[in-house]
Amino acid sequence: MLCDAPARFGLPTAGLGGSAPRIVELGAGTGLVSLTLAQLLPGLGLARAALVATDYHSAVIANLRGNIAINSSAVGSAVCPVQACVLDWGVEEMDPAWPLGGERADVLFATDVIYAHEHAEMLGACASRLLAPDGVFWLLQTVRQNGRFGGVVGTVEGVFGKGGSTGRILRILESQRVEKPDRVGRGDEALYRLFKIGWSG
Ligand SMILES: C[S@@+](CC[C@H](N)C(=O)[O-])C[C@H]1O[C@@H](n2cnc3c(N)ncnc32)[C@H](O)[C@@H]1O
């Protein structure tokens, strides 16, 4: 989706971070989203983007660093550097190696990170700490309607759709249903939902 239609994700970032946006992936796993952005952004005039791929699991981070190394050397054309860093959604204190210092992120990405009841709440708190005032959080939820994941489907709206608060809160600005193409994803994945989340109020 990023490569087919970057404009769907506001890329090149309209006003967000100028030509050097700070982009953070949450729960990056193998880092596919960050690695894709690393190859996509130079062609969109965003070669100076700061890309940080994060996860909380040490084995995942080790694998992520390996994937970054392979992908940054295997391609001849310009590639944005990707930094891997530990970030646990449930921990307020940042890792001492956090590469963005006190700067907030212009864009957050998170894909397939809602698979327990507490995840949306944790991601909401984490995004509140990280996202710049005009920033955008792109959250792609995998919908698994059957089995033990069925109950988490509405949790994103439960956290980011809340009204009645005073002050700025993170809200769903747009949501789209994304159909699952044939032969993509695992058998228990029914469809996907793409949320554009940002500050309102
Ligand atoms: C299902 S995987 C998705 C990985 C990747 N985003 C993708 O779409 O392929 C969920 C990821 O979230 C990470 N994760 C789970 N809980 C987390 C937390 N509290 N803080 C940071 N990452 C977490 C896991 O380690 C795992 O890599």
Q: Is the pLDDT of residue 154 over 80?
A: yes
Q: How far is the CA of 111 from the centre of ligand 1 (A)?
A: 8
Q: How far apart are CA 6 and CA 10, in angstroms?
A: 7
Rounded (to 5) percent helix, strand, coil in the chain: 30, 30, 45
Q: What is the pLDDT of residues 157-181, one digit of tens each?
A: 999 986 556 678 999 999 999 999 8
Is residue 101 packed enough to be buried (19+ CB in 10 Å), middle (13-18) or exposed (0-12)? exposed
pLDDT band for 149, please (50, 70, 90 cuts). confident
Q: How confident is the model at residue 74 (pLDDT cuts 50, 70, 90)?
A: low
Of 15 and 142, the one with more pLDDT: 142
Structural domain count of the chain: 1
For residue 125 and ligand 1, the question of a CB distance below 6 A is answered with: no
CB-based burial, 52-67: b 16+ in 10 Å, e otherwise: bbbbeeeebbebbeeb
Q: Give the percent of the chain with pLDDT over 90.
A: 77
Q: Distance between CA 187 and CA 45 in Å, rounded? A: 37
Q: With respect to residue 1, please indicate whether it lies within any of the assigned structural domains.
A: no
Residue 98: pLDDT band by 50, 70, 90 thresholds?
very high
Give mean pLDDT, residues 99-109.
Answer: 97
Task: Supply the pLDDT for residue 14.
Answer: 67
Element (H, E) at 155: helix 155-160
pLDDT at residue 60, rounded to an integer: 98
Q: For position 185, which CATH number holds?
A: 3.40.50.150
The answer to whether position 95 is within a domain reads yes
Torsion of Cα atoms, 57 then 59 then 63 then 64, to 10° = 20
Q: Is the pLDDT of residue 105 over 60?
A: yes
Residue 164 confidence (pLDDT): 56
* Structural domain includes residue 105: yes
Give me the pLDDT at residue 15, please: 67
The reply to whether ligand 1 has any atom less than 6 angstroms from the CB of 113 is: yes
* Distance in angstroms (rounded) separating the CA atoms of residues 147 and 68: 34
With the most atoms of ligand 1 within 8 angstroms of its CB, the residue from 54, 55, 91, 111 to mutate is 55
- Residue 187 domain-assigned (yes or no): yes
Q: Looking at the predicted structure, is the pLDDT value of residue 26 above 80?
A: yes
Q: Is residue 194 part of a domain?
A: yes
Kindly report the number of other CB atoms within 10 A of residue 32's CB atom.
Answer: 15
- The pLDDT, as a whole number, for residue 146 is 76
182 part of a folded domain: yes
Token pair, residue 93, equals 């204190």
* Ligand 1 midpoint to CA 166 (Å): 31
Nearest CA to ligand 1 atom 11: 27
pLDDT at 161: 81
Give the domain range for residue 136. Answer: 6-200
Residue 185 confidence (pLDDT): 83
Give mean pLDDT, residues 24-50. 95
